[in-house]
Structure 1
Amino acid sequence: MIHAAAQPTLDELIGGVRAGHRATLARAITLVESRKPAHRARAEELLQALLPFTGNAMRVGITGVPGVGKSTAIDTLGALLIQKGRRVAVLAVDPSSSRTGGSILGDKTRMARLSVDERAFVRPSPAAGTLGGVAARTRETLLLCEAAGYDVVLVETVGVGQSETAVADMTDTFLVLMLPGAGDELQGLKKGILELADIVAVNKADGDGLTRARAAAAEYRAALQVLGAREPHWSTPVLACSGLTGDGLDILWEQVRLHQERSRQAGAFAARRRSQQIGWMWALLDERIRERIRTDAALRDEVPAISAEVAAGRLAPGLGAARIAARLGLEPT
């Protein structure tokens, strides 16, 4: 047993994660989220040891505009999957509040059923830092969840900024939730979100919203036909569902399963995973460079001065970047 006050050994972390202990998994994730150099080295050892036990989960990204009902839909979908014998992990990619540094999503009570179910694990992203850093930690958390035996990992994004692309780049199937009333939403919809979508689902297809949801689904189908197929082996389906009642979620999950099956048959699944692995490596390298800039004493003094010169228009941004790169040893001085 690992006592609450004791620092678990690496072997204890590996054993606890492999045994599916949620408390140990949470401690392992805290370790990989740490910025301390000693913790980072230990986290890398942990991830390397667990790597052979990863890669077997269905990785599904889920996004949608605020108010679309992501949390309710994920909670209901997760409960449905648990009934089918699955173990479900939910991760949230959440760029922190620029004003407070706190988590925008944070509160696990939004997923009342999953947060108390032993067969589920809900984890918000770390607070503070750039989206790239958050996404890198989420990728590592995803691997830990897979090593712990979770065979479905749902990665939620707030649906703003670049978080959709980050989630699409770490999952096998990308689901976009939409609101009924497509006419209004299509006006402000970013074309890029639909281009990323493997599946589109109009949520809140219940009660008075059912007719509007079906009409919205028809409009989204028309919009997707104009965009054309994203992959040669798959045409993005548009469904109507209710995260509140669960109606349509069985059909939605069947589409997720079918997408991954066809991707495997076409060879795209393995190619996507390989590309993601390389992308993760470069994201971590980028983070290390940024960390070096933040922590190196000489750079700490010099970067603000260079930034001030660029802001004042006295130094071209390219030359400013070159000076910082030279201090890092990436360019000749």
Structure 2
Amino acid sequence: MGTASSGILYPWLDEPWQKLNAYLASQRLPQALLIHGVDGIGKTYLAEIFAQKLLCKHPEIFACGDCAGCRLFLAGTHPDFLRIEPAERGKPIAVDTVRHLIANLSLKPQYGGYRIVVFCAAHQLNISAANALLKTLEEPGENTVMLLLTDMPSALPATIFSRCQRLPIALPDDAVAARWLEEQGTGEATAVLLATARHAPLKALALAESDVVERRRTAFSEYVDVALRRQEPITLAERWSTLAYEDLVDWMVSWTIDLIRLRSVPDSPRLDNPDLRQGLQALVRRLHLKSLFGFLDLLLQAKRALNGQVNRQLLLEELLIHWAQLGQSPQADWYLS
């Protein structure tokens, strides 16, 4: 990834970057700004290059990269840049973390300029932490800017959501994302990587350096086996326990959305998983549309539950059992071919 000093900006971030700079130029910078978009779109990168610009002594379009403020920021030691995030993936941001932040904010910025707080995965604030933060969001202190980042804005407490101005980051057009990825050297794998990353280019680039595409294809084949009753859901859940639960639920969400598309429009040209079209089409007429929508709701609830204290293995077992049962009701056209 580039840095602010290098003047690198991902093409799909140009519009939100212009909005941030418009806030700055008009001297109406929000004290609490919610930046939201899917995982892998570049929210953290956008927040950090803007934070560096705010802390820079000689900013232009981007931070200069050479002043004392930039050097401290790039070294990760600027005292007026604070990052709040879960201690571990899937864990909540605890109230003690917020209380410690509030104590820090009671002091003046050490360099006399802006002080920036970035909340990574803001939707993982637990209830006590969110409640403790409310007054600070309303009155964070002079020259203090709070940037809350999330890919699940609906999971934020309403009290937090209502106190923030909002800056959405939209997914780029697939052609734009594919061109950028090809420039990074992804080659023939570009389309599959984008599909696996659900069209988020930075996530797709990260996947290019792993074997996740092959693992996803294997998982889909096993998922089909459960639907066709060639595989027991509990057995598969145990086998999948070595994989990331967040990835598994994301894959199941994308497969279900594609099944809904194909059930509604059999020749739908747009799929999140174009490389799996043949397998999806083999399944789609075996499933009732209403059942698919119900299963999608369950998956989205599971996605939210993964941010809390949930038994992940049990959750996965329940999802796979429900998937295995989708076609068993008399109303489902399971046996159509």
**TM class, shorter-chain normalised?**
under 0.3
**TM-score where L is the length of structure 2:** 0.27
